[in-house]
Amino acid sequence: MATLIEKDLIDSKTNISTSRRNFLKNLASGGLVVGLPLTACASAPLPGENKNALQPNALLQITSDNTINFYLPRSEMGQGTYTGLTTIVAEELDVHPSSINVINATAHDDYKNIEYGIQVTGGSNSIRTHFLPLRHLAANTRLVIRQAASQQLKQPLASIQTDDGKIVVNGKALPYGEFADFANQLEFPEDAPLKDKSQFKYMGKNAPRLDGLAKSTGTAEFGMDVDFEGLHRAALKRCPVFGGTVKSLNADDAKKMPGVKSVVQIHNGVAVIADHYYQAKNALPKLKIEWDRPETLSKFSSDSTAADNGKGWFKTALDSDESTNAFEQGDGLDALKLADTVVSGEYWAPYLAHATMEPMNCTAKLDGDKLELWVGSQAPDLAKFAGAYYADVPKDNVTVHSTFLGGGFGRRSATDFVAEAAAIAKASGLPIQLVWSREDDMQFDVYRPAAMAKFKVGLNKEGLIDSWTVKRSGPQIMPYTLDNIVDGVMPSFLPNGMVDWMSKAGYSIFDSLTVDHASVEGLYEDYDAKHKSSDHVTVDPGLPLGYWRSVGHSYSGFFKESMMDEIATLQKQDAVEYRLKHLTSNPKLANTLKVAAKTAGWKQPLPKGHFHGVATHASFSSFASQITEVSVKNGQLHIHKVVCVIDCGLAINPDIVKAQMESGIIYGLTAALYGEITLKDGAVQQSNFHDYPALRINESPEIEVVIIDSDDAPTGVGEPGLPPIAAAISNGIFAATGKRLRSLPLKV
Amino acid sequence: MISFELNGQTVQVDATPDTPLLWTIRDHLNLKGSKFGCGMGLCGACSMLLDGESTRTCILPVSAVQGRKVTTIEGIGNPDMLSTLQQAWVDASVPQCGYCQSGQLVSATALLSKNNNPSDEEIDNAMSGNICRCGTYPSIKKAIKQAAKDIKSGNGRLQAVSHYDPSNTNNMTQEA
């Protein structure tokens, strides 16, 4: 890792600030590429190490009693990676996926995300980045078992076949496990051939999810379900405004409450520890706390009409000359001067909470200088670093037990709740499970940033797009995640003080040097235009931010596809045809749009009062187009149907791809129709599902998903289904009512 | 001491009367299948059958179930003995993150116990108290219809276990 960073710095062509910028940019874009280790790192022992087992690396193990363990390097949060990655291993290992014992991996260097250099699950890259490495690993493993069988049974290698986890030779079938010990002593091969698509038994076929049984019987273990003798429960009172600290505390009344064992103060609040959760929760209101509130955030109110507060602040910044360029092509902004017509549009998207079904929680047990954590996390190694820091123990003394995640959507890549649990365990000396209430979860999230954007699009005489320019104002995510990440990616030879400085000063370093790609992604890429520019200006009240399903695309899909619809309307052109005219260099996206139009019956007659809306958007290396059928009656929106066409390369399990499209659409519909986090004097106003509603089954439309048949390598599906939906609805509303909605959530 | 029937067995707990049934069952009786989602009866993750009705237990004091019949997901079936709905759930790959699914299955069980041929609208009405953030609603509808077919034809069972086997939770009657 150290050498990679050095190389990156040396490769930078200009000066030190550029190289630093590249380094940070790489953090943001995941440019620190390391290969999936195919042999064990000497640095850390393999999980479940067993000298009689065949264990080429930390991911795969075949024991002599024929258990095939796959240590799942990515976190299962609903997206289906538990089934998907196991299916990839199963295919080349030649064993039925359901015969593989899948284990949620602990924190270990071998499980780092190949593109990010940290052990994080996000960016819809699990299947894409593991497709080849896991196939090679499994194919090489199958080969070494065949080689072992060949030598042990004294039969030529060519006569040794496999079938569903068994060596087949001379009409006999022997389990792989019988050869594991011997295979372990052979040199591990590196070049076993991979199967051709025509030979696939499991990939590309529908099969039930491997975690479906546990999750249909209440037996899947989530972080919240962890329990052991002597475990206490903790509830935490935080300053209503993020970043506030305790000025004074009187815990006398809280300590008298039933079941309360201890009250401790930590970095961001006061924790009550009790035998049971409801006892801790009931005692929290008895704490008397005065807070020191952070100055900037405390001044921010969403409903303010001032030019330097609320939405007005975003607008002021957008209209100012201040900006940093994120992308330029051709003559950029200058090209607008030559345009025959300039069309402009301005759009808004609010802050959003994740609202995973399982509120944040973490269990921490500190025994001397050894810390154990039980947590459903999208980033077990970052959880480990946070635990070490806040319990003040060496990193190598932290063990992370990973559970299933009751929803992630990006929320569980942050480690704030792990830090709290470790700090409470440290301060109290008790093994504790920190449980967040729904209100905690809603009011202390790491939010999807609010954003405002203005497009200016120059058209030529034929009414086609010649220049596409856009400026976005809002806060950036990366500065908030630096503190989380830096500890994980900085070379270990750097002194702690420097790492601390990097993380604490990260915000200002970052923001003064570069634009987080996540701030502008999706605003400018999809359509052909000779000239392009994308600019950003930071407006940041200080509300913590995080990755929210599809990240920047979650708003840019709405912004860009609304703008495109407005242009097509002004040009009196068909919304699908006009888009297709600008997708010449984006053939996969164009194809999904054509298929969507055909599937939905675009331009075909609809029931009276029903209208189509269309949107198309590429994200996470995949391509999605959606066409909605909506009606508006008496001011009430009805969504009758959504057609979604996805090109994600080879669909490892088409049923899961379909489910992820439905999931992205429904998660996106909640945001499009209801989602809005607002602040009053810096405090989040929403608290539970009554004032931050989630789409329910009776509001959920019929969804038809078409998966483009493809031989290309698989790409993302967890996020790409979300970005088009808000615009597909809004464009349908425009068709139905003539009313153009430029703000989210959509208010008909 | 409060006494009620849990998954076919009489249990006694020493929780204070205002303790929500959900936490009594999760913390005192150590059955973890029912989930905490909102604490306000809004999301349905905590749903249990109370005398056959799908009930939000995060806001129901345990004193309210004295002498009554409570069934949790563990009392509907287990990995070795699935109810027809659970089987349909597995076959249709309904769960994604899975956290809300115990509650979804409880509400679906209550629905099919009264109506073995529900329309889309009847499914919507019976299931609209259960939020799923992963958006498994289309699969839920499909699985309920499949299970209803099996139940109607006499090939199904709404509960696969007559009582919950406490052999692996020996603290069923233990007080906390």
- Smallest Cβ–Cβ distance between A216 and the set B40, B94, B137 belongs to B94
With contacts defined as CB-CB under 8 Å, which chain B residues touch A205? none
- Identify residue A377 by its one-letter amino acid code: S
Question: In DSSP terms, which residues pair with B55 in a beta bridge?
Answer: B48
Q: In angstroms, rounded to a whole number, what is the distance separating the alpha carbons of residues A625 and B79?
A: 39
- pLDDT at residue number A28: 39
- pLDDT at residue number A697: 98
Instruction: State phi, psi for B80 to the nearest 5 degrees.
Output: -90, -25
Model confidence at A495: pLDDT above 90: no
Token duo for residue A439: 């209100």
Q: In angstroms, rounded to a whole number, what is the distance separating the alpha carbons of residues A742 and A736?
A: 16
Model confidence at A700: pLDDT above 70: yes
Judged by CB atoms closer than 8 Å, whether chains meet at A406 and B98 is answered as yes
Model confidence at A3: pLDDT above 50: no
- pLDDT at residue number A230: 97
Instruction: For the beta carbon of residue A431, count every other beta carbon within 10 angstroms.
Output: 18
Q: In angstroms, rounded to a whole number, what is the distance separating the alpha carbons of residues A66 and A677?
A: 52
Judged by CB atoms closer than 8 Å, whether chains meet at A221 and B32 is answered as yes
**CA nearest A218 in B: which residue?**
B33
Q: In angstroms, rounded to a whole number, what is the distance separating the alpha carbons of residues A653 and A87?
A: 8
Which residues lie below 8 Å from residue A114, measured CB to CB, with a gap of 6+?
A: A33, A34, A35, A36, A129, A130, A133
Q: In angstroms, rounded to a whole number, what is the distance separating the alpha carbons of residues B141 and B120?
A: 8
- Identify residue A393 by its one-letter amino acid code: V
Chain B: closest CA distance from residue A469 (Å): 35
Q: In angstroms, rounded to a whole number, what is the distance separating the alpha carbons of residues A673 and A725?
A: 11
Peptide bond between residue B20 and the one before it cis (omega within 30 degrees of 0): no
Model confidence at A283: pLDDT above 60: yes
Q: Note whether A486 and A439 are within 8 A (CB).
A: no
Which among A95, A66, A86 has a CA at the least distance from the CA of A208? A86
Instruction: For the beta carbon of residue A295, count every other beta carbon within 10 angstroms.
Output: 11
Judged by CB atoms closer than 8 Å, whether chains meet at B137 and A278 is answered as no
Q: Indicate the fold that domain A314-350+449-476+515-737 takes in CATH.
A: Aldehyde Oxidoreductase; domain 4 (3.30.365)
Q: In angstroms, rounded to a whole number, what is the distance separating the alpha carbons of residues B22 and B147?
A: 27
- Smallest Cβ–Cβ distance between A659 and the set B86, B96, B99 belongs to B96
Instruction: For the beta carbon of residue A16, count every other beta carbon within 10 angstroms.
Output: 9
Q: In angstroms, rounded to a whole number, what is the distance separating the alpha carbons of residues A73 and A379?
A: 10
Judged by CB atoms closer than 8 Å, whether chains meet at A276 and B123 is answered as no
Q: Give A391-422 pLDDT, tens digit per residue.
A: 999 999 999 999 999 999 999 999 999 999 99
- Smallest Cβ–Cβ distance between B73 and the set A218, A359, A655 belongs to A218
To the nearest whole percent, how much of chain A has pLDDT over 90? Answer: 87
What letter does residue A645 receive in the DSSP assignment?
Answer: E
Chain B: closest CA distance from residue A689 (Å): 6
With contacts defined as CB-CB under 8 Å, which chain B residues touch A76? 97
Per-residue pLDDT band at A29 (split at 50, 70, 90): very low
Element (H, E) at A428: helix A416-428
**CA nearest A353 in B: which residue?**
B133
Chain B: closest CA distance from residue A390 (Å): 27
Judged by CB atoms closer than 8 Å, whether chains meet at A215 and B95 is answered as yes
Half-sphere exposure of A528 (CA within 13 A, CB side): 13
- pLDDT at residue number A20: 34
Q: Pick the more confident residue, A37 or A652.
A: A652
Q: Pick the more confident residue, A51 or A322.
A: A322
Chain A: closest CA distance from residue B158 (Å): 13
Q: In angstroms, rounded to a whole number, what is the distance separating the alpha carbons of residues B98 and A219?
A: 10
Q: How remote is the C-alpha of A702 from its chain's centroid?
A: 26
Q: How does the average pLDDT of chain A come out, rounded?
A: 92
Which among A261, A287, A256, A254 has a CA at the least distance from the CA of A276? A261
- pLDDT at residue number A50: 84
With contacts defined as CB-CB under 8 Å, which chain B residues touch A655? 93
Element (H, E) at A472: strand A465-474
- pLDDT at residue number A392: 95
With contacts defined as CB-CB under 8 Å, which chain A residues touch B99? 222, 356-358, 406-407
Domain coordinates of chain A in residue numbers?
Answer: 54-215, 223-295+360-435, 314-350+449-476+515-737
- pLDDT at residue number A4: 30
Q: Is B162 exposed, middle or buried (0-12, 13-18, 19+ CB in 10 A)?
A: exposed
Judged by CB atoms closer than 8 Å, whether chains meet at B35 and A406 is answered as yes
Give the lowest-confidence range in A10-14, A121-125, A136-140, A739-743: A10-14
Instruction: For the beta carbon of residue A331, count every other beta carbon within 10 angstroms.
Output: 16
Q: Is A261 exposed, middle or buried (0-12, 13-18, 19+ CB in 10 A)?
A: middle
Model confidence at A613: pLDDT above 70: yes
What letter does residue A572 receive in the DSSP assignment?
Answer: T
With contacts defined as CB-CB under 8 Å, which chain B residues touch A656? 93
Judged by CB atoms closer than 8 Å, whether chains meet at B35 and A357 is answered as yes
Tell me the mean pLDDT in the region A571-576.
98
The low-confidence residues of chain B, meaning pLDDT below 70, are 163-176
Q: Indicate the fold that domain A54-215 takes in CATH.
A: Aldehyde Oxidoreductase; domain 4 (3.30.365)
- Smallest Cβ–Cβ distance between A219 and the set B39, B79, B125 belongs to B79
Which among B47, B82, B97 is the top mutation candidate for probing chain A, defined by the most A β-carbons within 10 Å of its own β-carbon? B97
Q: Give A359-385 pLDDT, tens digit per residue.
A: 999 999 999 999 999 999 999 999 999
- Domains belonging to chain B, first-starting first, are 2-77+161-168 (3.10.20.30), 84-152 (1.10.150.120)
Q: Note whether A339 and A467 are within 8 A (CB).
A: yes
A465-474 vs A451-459, strand pairing mode: antiparallel
With contacts defined as CB-CB under 8 Å, which chain A residues touch B176? 275-276
Rounded to 10 deg, the angle between the A16-29 and A506-513 helix axes is: 100
Write b or e for each residue in A391-408: b if 16 or more Cβ atoms lie within 10 A of its Cβ, otherwise e. Answer: bebebebbebbbbbbbbb
Residues 67-96, chain A: which have Cβ within 8 Å of B? 76-80
With contacts defined as CB-CB under 8 Å, which chain A residues touch B109? none
Biggest CA–CA distance in chain B, Å, is: 45
Chain B: closest CA distance from residue A234 (Å): 13
With contacts defined as CB-CB under 8 Å, which chain A residues touch B138? 662, 700, 702-703
Q: Note whether A180 and A146 are within 8 A (CB).
A: no
- pLDDT at residue number A48: 82
Q: Is A706 helix (H, G, I), strand (E, B) or coil?
A: strand
What is the ipTM metric for this complex?
0.95
Q: How remote is the C-alpha of A629 from its chain's centroid?
A: 29
- Smallest Cβ–Cβ distance between B105 and the set A77, A216, A700 belongs to A216
Token duo for residue A572: 């009196």
Chain B: closest CA distance from residue A164 (Å): 22
Determine the CATH number of domain A223-295+360-435: 3.30.365.10
Q: In angstroms, rounded to a whole number, what is the distance separating the alpha carbons of residues A451 and A448?
A: 9
Which among A639, A626, A654, A745 has a CA at the least distance from the CA of A702? A639
- pLDDT at residue number A47: 83
What letter does residue A98 receive in the DSSP assignment?
Answer: G
Q: Note whether B110 and B126 are within 8 A (CB).
A: yes
Model confidence at A617: pLDDT above 70: yes
**CA nearest B171 in A: which residue?**
A229
Judged by CB atoms closer than 8 Å, whether chains meet at A208 and B105 is answered as no
Judged by CB atoms closer than 8 Å, whether chains meet at B133 and A227 is answered as no
Per-residue pLDDT band at A24 (split at 50, 70, 90): very low
Same fold for the domain at A54-215 and the one at A223-295+360-435? yes
Which residues lie below 8 Å from residue A301, measured CB to CB, with a gap of 6+?
A: A309, A310, A679, A680, A681, A682
Per-residue pLDDT band at A481 (split at 50, 70, 90): confident
Residues 525-544, chain A: which have Cβ within 8 Å of B? none
- Smallest Cβ–Cβ distance between B91 and the set A79, A208, A218 belongs to A208
- pLDDT at residue number A513: 62
Q: In angstroms, rounded to a whole number, what is the distance separating the alpha carbons of residues A735 and B61?
A: 50
Token duo for residue A506: 């990260």
